[in-house]
Amino acid sequence: MGFVRVLVAEDQVTLADRIAEGLRDAGMAVDVAYDGAAALEGAQVTGYDVVVLDRDLPRVHGDRVCRALAGGPARILMLTAAADVEDRVDGLELGADDYLGKPFAFAELVARVRALGRRAPASPPVVRVGDVTVDRARHRASRAGRPLSLTRKEFGVLEMLAAADGAVVSAEELLEHVWDANADPFSNIVSVTMTRLRRKLGPPAMIETVVGRGYRM
């Protein structure tokens, strides 16, 4: 599947950081908000595929956050300490897409976030640019029928460029979507990954550098 961008909104800092770490280990880009206001702010700025939302958030209650984000591009997985049926129905009526009671098994959380990520309304599962095919659902890419052996980050970069349909994608956008908010904006990690990706794609060159603006296919 394609690259999944997740916002974890949870006010218990230790739990929030543990969830974020586990999802990052599973190959997702994750940001964390420790209250409802920060969650709403983050969701306005970044196009998340999935929001893992604690119901009992300070500043702005999780129910209000859920109502505000429901129907948007992000899928919502609601976490709640109260696991009874009534609570579950409440959460789903507010517009949550899925529901998980605390305490939960971590593997189940990862599986549910993945499943919701697959349902997020992304661009088509298979994108073709020239003789390059990017299969987002299967996480595979090929050129002129030859499979490309790409790392997760290289695939994420190729996927974003292919989905941009000829538009320029800035290094900042790549950093934000393929890495996450903790990536150092001054590092050369994007250009290093780009060099490796170009080498693997081989001639003729497919990725153009637009000076001062970014990259395009």
**Interval 108-121 mean pLDDT:** 81
Q: What angle do CA 121, 127, 130 make, to 5 degrees?
A: 155
- 122 pLDDT more than 60: no
> Nearest CA to 94 among 61, 139, 120?
61
What are 61-89's pLDDT values in tens digits? 999 999 898 877 788 999 887 656 566 55
pLDDT value of position 12: 94
Cβ count near 57 (within 10 Å): 23
pLDDT value of position 86: 64
Give the distance from CA 215 to its chain's centroid: 20
- 91 pLDDT more than 70: no
Find where tokens 């980050």 sit: 153
pLDDT value of position 19: 94
- 195 pLDDT more than 80: yes
- 1 pLDDT more than 70: no
- Euclidean distance between CA atoms 161 and 183, whole angstroms: 19
- 99 pLDDT more than 80: yes
What are 30-45's pLDDT values in tens digits? 999 999 999 999 998 8
What are 157-182's pLDDT values in tens digits? 998 898 887 888 888 888 877 876 66
CB 91 within 8 A of CB 112: no
Average pLDDT, the chain: 85
- 16 pLDDT more than 80: yes
**Interval 97-108 mean pLDDT:** 87
- Euclidean distance between CA atoms 155 and 149, whole angstroms: 9
Give the pairing type, strands 75-80 and 98-101: parallel
pLDDT value of position 182: 65
**Interval 182-204 mean pLDDT:** 87
| Dihedral (Cα; 101, 105, 110, 111), 10-degree rounding | -90
What are 135-154's pLDDT values in tens digits? 876 778 999 999 999 888 89
CB 160 within 8 A of CB 123: no
